Amino acid sequence: MDSKARTVGVLVAFLGVCPFGAGVALAQTPAGRDTCVSCHAGLPESRLARPAELFAQPDIHRESGFACADCHRGDPGATEKSRAHDGAHGFRGKPMGLAVITACARCHSDAELMRRFAPRQRVDQALEYATSVHGKRLAAGDTKVATCASCHGAHGVRRVKDSKSPVFPTNVGGTCASCHASDEHMRGYTLPGGAPLPVNQFSEYQKSVHYAALMKADDLSAPSCNACHGNHGAAPPGVGSVANVCGTCHAVFAQKFETSVHAQIFDKGCVECHGNHAVLKPSDEMLGTGAHAICATCHGGPDDKGAVAAEAMRGDIDRLKGAIDATGTLVARVKNAGIEVSTQELALAEARSHLTLARAEIHASDAARVDAIIQDGLKIVTTTDTAGQRGLRELKYRRTGLVISLGVILLVVVTLALKIRQLDRRG
């Protein structure tokens, strides 16, 4: 069976339990007496009372007019448990495994129904889920894998944009980690090679520049687990598709990398140099053949063309960076002295753009192209530096002029004072 056929098969298995039309018919229990909540809320057993308590809290389904029976079925008007939980009314109790997907998909895969509540929301979650590792394993009978409720919750389900939702961008990592960081939960799962599936992804991710951007800089566009792995269709990116995944955000780097000799050699694309979960803030030290250089992992020695190119690119970057720093200090000094330097500041910003462009160009691994950009940047810095030096001379000129002027004024003041004294004495 090819993957497409398998996907469709799994989806049919999920959705076949209850046809779409039934979802439309059952959605939103008619207003009336609902004994589910009133009865469960008073039960002493927490397992049974907690759902009623959570459902009473912010819950998108309750707020949209759905009731317990829309998922659990049964008779919500009955006052006796036996009638309320009557199988004749379709009561299904707590859905587990595939039944969770079925229960959610009954509405969430129904485009017509969803249009009434959230017209912009996608309706292919179940389809995507069927393609995920979770979905495939579930279809194969593994009930430990995550289903809809594992991430979104079953009761007290909040909108994704609600910052308290477990799938809000800042909470996604922790939600995934609740299973993936658990030794016990992940025991028995292996990588394609047979090695145990690691449980350190989240702790590694917490060291990354992505985590820092998301959690410390409150940049909600920064990636969490689902940005690279997908959410409903969660799966590790294939070896060949890593650059595409990273390139979703880092488009320029991905384009440059595509033209690089490394694109043909690196098995894991970007991950080879930057890592996957613990993607650290890149630095110029990663380039070249120095102690912290990533290039040195593979390249070394004077005859290694890669090492020579890496060193040349690093030298270029350092040269422009040093020149910008030195001229920046000069311009700041002149500015602090009150000389107008906005043109020079603009030029320095352009030089910094060249530095950024050169850093992006490194991904093409072509030293000549990097050098061309650096030379353009250096020309700008040289011109700016000349203007800065001119500013310093101007400053000196102003101060000298002031001293001379003050000297002349002092002379006039003394002369006037003497003259006044002479006049006063004369009477």
Query: Which residue, 113, 131, 132, is CA-closest to 121?
Result: 113
Give the position of tokens 């004495």.
Answer: 425
Smaller CB distance to another protein: residue 217 or 410?
410
Q: Give the Å distances, CA to CA, from 396 to 176, 342, 399.
A: 63, 20, 5
Smaller CB distance to another protein: residue 326 or 420?
420
Q: How far is the CB of 379 from another protein (least distance, A)?
A: 22
Give the position of tokens 């030794």.
Answer: 183
Smaller CB distance to another protein: residue 85 or 333?
333
Q: Would you tell me how many other CB atoms lie within 10 Å of the CB of residue 270?
A: 22
> What is the three-class DSSP state of 153?
coil
Q: What stretches of 227-336 adopt beta strand conformation (E)?
A: none
Q: How far is the CB of 3 from another protein (least distance, A)?
A: 51
Smaller CB distance to another protein: residue 280 or 410?
410
Q: What is the largest CA-CA distance in the chain?
A: 128
Give the position of tokens 């912009």.
Answer: 120
Backbone angles phi, psi at 132, to 5 degrees: -80, 165
Taking the chain, what is the end-to-end CA distance rounded to the nearest angstrom? 123
Q: How far is the CB of 289 from another protein (least distance, A)?
A: 44
Residues whose CB is less than 8 angstroms from the CB of residue 137 and which lie 6 or more positions away in sequence, other chains included: 145
Joined tokens for residue 204: 């590694």
Q: How far is the CB of 396 from another protein (least distance, A)?
A: 11
- List residues near another protein by CB under 8 A: 337-340, 342-343, 398-399, 401-402, 405-406, 409-410, 412-413, 416-417, 419-420, 423-424
Q: How far is the CB of 406 from another protein (least distance, A)?
A: 6
Smaller CB distance to another protein: residue 43 or 413?
413
HSE-up of residue 49 (Cα within 13 Å, Cβ side): 6
Q: How far is the CB of 385 from another protein (least distance, A)?
A: 17
To 5 degrees, how large is the angle CA 66–CA 71–CA 73?
A: 105
Smaller CB distance to another protein: residue 115 or 393?
393
Element (H, E) at 170: helix 169-180
Q: How far is the CB of 213 from another protein (least distance, A)?
A: 23
Q: How far is the CB of 391 from another protein (least distance, A)?
A: 10
Smaller CB distance to another protein: residue 185 or 419?
419
Q: What is the dihedral of CA 191, 194, 199, 201, to 10 degrees?
A: -40
Q: How far is the CB of 218 from another protein (least distance, A)?
A: 18
Joined tokens for residue 189: 């799962």
Cβ-contact 143, 97 below 8 angstroms: yes
Smaller CB distance to another protein: residue 96 or 414?
414
Smaller CB distance to another protein: residue 8 or 406?
406
Smaller CB distance to another protein: residue 251 or 349?
349
Joined tokens for residue 272: 């080879």
Give the position of tokens 């009473």.
Answer: 56
Q: How far is the CB of 328 from another protein (least distance, A)?
A: 18
Paired residues of 190 in beta bridges: 196
Query: Which residue, 380, 401, 385, is CA-closest to 334?
Result: 385
